[in-house]
Amino acid sequence: MQYISTRGQAAKIGFCDVLLAGLARDGGLYVPENWPTLDTAPNANYANRAASIMAPFVGDEIDRNVFGQLCADAYSTFRHPEVAPLVEIGPNEYLLELFHGPTLAFKDVALQLVGKLFDHVLTQRNQRVMIVGATSGDTGGAAFDGVASCRNVDLVMLYPNNRVSDVQRRQMTTIMSPNVHAVAIDGTFDDCQDLVKAMFNDQKFRDANQLSAVNSINWVRVMAQVVYYITATEKLGRSAVFSVPTGNFGNVLAGWIAKQMGASIEGFVVASNTNDILTRFFESKKLIANEVVPTLSPSMDIQVSSNFERLLFEMNNRDGLATAKQLTSFRATGNLDVAQSVYQQWISGVFVGRRCNDEQTLATMQDVYQQSGMLIDPHTAVGLSAGRQSAGVDYPKNMPMITLATAHPAKFPDAVRRATGQTPQMPEHLADLMTRPERSVSLANDLQAVQAFVAGCRN
């Protein structure tokens, strides 16, 4: 399997190069040359099923048995034997629980595997990389946990000082492995992201320090998320709609790929909080960026969803130059229009957008608690509310609706307490998280200072 860039200018490369490159040199995102067809049999073991679903994407670059073992290792860190259990909560209403990994958010499903893959590929190539990234929340902890035991990876993660939750910060700062570094930047998340971009755009620095990325535009993260859409429909034994709490559009794009491969999926409810650029797009065929508003579901407080580029590329019949032109104009004007015929072909009947504000989020959390005694996190609540708005309107009421439960309630205890009066219990392996010693560095919002720090972290 070869990979091409959504902007049409970068050379084709194979799976292992895509893993290490993250972003293509032409600024585009890598996608496989074609979507493979699902032709393997269901398997009750999640890791085995994952290996067979992902095999066509890996191609012959990693031995089939080795890849199977990497999947087994990655998913052995999950606390639930099914890894991603499907839980019925009402008539035709299900939660797909994706938070049983080490850092309690669905990002573990991809980043546990990404860590194992980096370790394997870099050992084979006798190479070492420096991963740099910025986090506004869940990615930081999941990336730390994913690569803390990698022998050939150093990781520097920038986060905005005093702007991530205590749990999220501690999931980075309490990991003492010498190859991972949490850096508090005196600035906002956007400042952190700009610093990372500037380091990547400095070709000399980038090459000298072997920079690499694990943010959500990395193809391997999307690929690992395709799996649970397929295992969920196989467990259900009939076709379903998925409601997906959405930020960067990575998770819902993975679902769309599962559908392309032949999974029995009717369609997707793209669930947004007050930052509803995608909902407005699905209503108006126009993508128009606004200011970011902070909400109770911070991992979805995003205006420009980077993975949407992969869908745009499909909507342009895989014309990379047209996609690049469209995105350049979007950056300049904050505005992107899609023709009616294109919308009909790619969006109608597949995606609907629904939004849920903080008040509705709390009401949904309270309702689930009263109905079933179950605590859900605010991101999951946005998805559930959106799915409920859509059921019986966009889809028949008797169609199963599966909401992706993207975080454990203990990750967002303040919102859970506000909605239900209950304090969610931290899983045992993190019970002493709030009293563990912390290790972190503070730096000014200054490129030179950050570059000097990164260079000094190389082992």
Residues numbered 116 to 145 that lie near ligand PLP (CB under 6 A) are: 138
- DSSP character for 29? B
Which one of the spans 54-62, 73-81, 246-254, 349-357 is the region binding ligand PLP (CB under 6 A)?
246-254
Binding region for ligand PLP (CB under 6 A) out of 123-131, 174-182, 239-247, 313-321: 239-247
Q: Which is nearer to ligand PLP, 8 or 141 (CB)?
A: 141
Residue 231 sits in the site that holds ligand PLP (CB under 6 A) = no
Per CB under 6 A, 246 contacts ligand PLP = yes
The values of phi and psi at residue 89, to 5°, are: -115, -5
300 binds ligand PLP (CB under 6 A): yes
CB of 279 to ligand PLP, least distance (A): 13
Among 245, 255, 267, 387, binds ligand PLP (CB under 6 A): 245
CB of 269 to ligand PLP, least distance (A): 13
Give just the sign of the alpha carbon dihedral 337, 340, 346, 347: positive
Asked if 354 interacts with ligand PLP (CB under 6 A), we say: no
Two tokens, residue 91: 């008539």
Please choose, out of 249-257, 358-366, 388-396, 414-422, the segment that lies near ligand PLP by the rule CB under 6 A.
249-257
Nearer to ligand PLP, 107 or 120 (CB): 107
CB under 6 A: which stretch of 42-50, 240-248, 332-340, 439-447 binds ligand PLP? 240-248
Spatial separation of the C-alpha atoms in residues 315 and 138, rounded to whole Å = 30
Distance CA 284, CA 280 (A): 6
Residue 26 · residue 10 · CB < 8 Å: yes
Cβ closest to ligand PLP, residue 330 vs residue 412? 412
- Return the number of the residue (105 or 167) whose C-beta is nearest ligand PLP: 105
d(CA 309, CA 436): 40
Q: Which is nearer to ligand PLP, 246 or 326 (CB)?
A: 246
Which span sits near ligand PLP by CB under 6 A: 128-136, 156-164, 194-202, 248-256? 248-256
Residue 173 as a binder of ligand PLP (CB under 6 A): the answer is: no
Contact 441, 184 (CB under 8 A): yes
**CB-nearer residue toward ligand PLP: 8 or 267:** 267
> Using the 8-state DSSP alphabet, how is residue 105 labeled?
B
Cβ distance 58 to 40 under 8 Å?
Answer: no
Q: What is the dihedral of CA 356, 361, 365, 368, to 10 degrees?
A: -20
Contact pattern for ligand PLP over residues 410 through 439, marking x by CB under 6 A: ------------------------------
Minimum distance, C-beta of residue 315 to ligand PLP, in the bound complex (Å):
18
Smallest gap from residue 76 Cβ to ligand PLP (A): 22
Closest approach of Cβ 225 to ligand PLP, in Å?
8
Q: CA 229, 233, 234, 239 torsion: positive or negative? A: negative
Pick out residues in 63-122 that bind ligand PLP (CB under 6 A). 105, 107
**How does strand 286-288 pair with strand 335-337?**
antiparallel
Q: Which of 115, 133, 187, 250 binds ligand PLP (CB under 6 A)?
A: 250
Active-site residue 286, yes or no?
no
For residue 37, CA distances in Å to 185, 259, 356 come to: 45, 10, 35
Element (DSSP H or E) covering residue 219: helix 219-236
Q: Which of 379, 385, 390, 409 binds ligand PLP (CB under 6 A)?
A: 379
Residue 216 engages ligand PLP in binding (rule: CB under 6 A):
yes
Residue 244 beta carbon to ligand PLP: minimum distance, rounded to whole angstroms: 7
Measured in degrees and rounded to the nearest 5, phi and psi for residue 270 equal -90, 105
Q: What one-character DSSP code corresponds to residue 178? A: T
Contact 105, 299 (CB under 8 A): yes
Q: Shortest Cβ distance from residue 251 to ligand PLP (Å)?
A: 4
* Distance set, CA 394 to CA 242, 275, 277 (Å): 12, 22, 20
Write out the H or E segment, with its range, that includes residue 402.
strand 401-405
Residue 312 neighbours by CB under 8 Å, 6+ apart: 6, 323, 326, 327
Give the rounded distance of the alpha carbon of 436 from its chain centre. 27
Nearer of residues 5 and 297 to ligand PLP, judged by Cβ: 297
- SS3 call for 364: helix
Closest CA to 244 of 284, 300, 287: 300
Query: Under the criterion CB under 6 A, does residue 299 sit at the interface with ligand PLP?
Result: yes
Cβ closer to ligand PLP: 8 or 245?
Answer: 245
8/140 with CB nearer ligand PLP: 140
Tell me: does residue 224 bind ligand PLP (CB under 6 A): no
Alpha-carbon gap, residue 361 to 384, rounded angstroms: 9
251 belongs to the binding site for ligand PLP (CB under 6 A): yes
Where in the sequence numbering do the catalytic residues fall? Answer: 107
Q: Give the residues lining the site for ligand PLP (CB under 6 A).
A: 105, 107, 138, 216, 245-251, 299-300, 379, 406-407
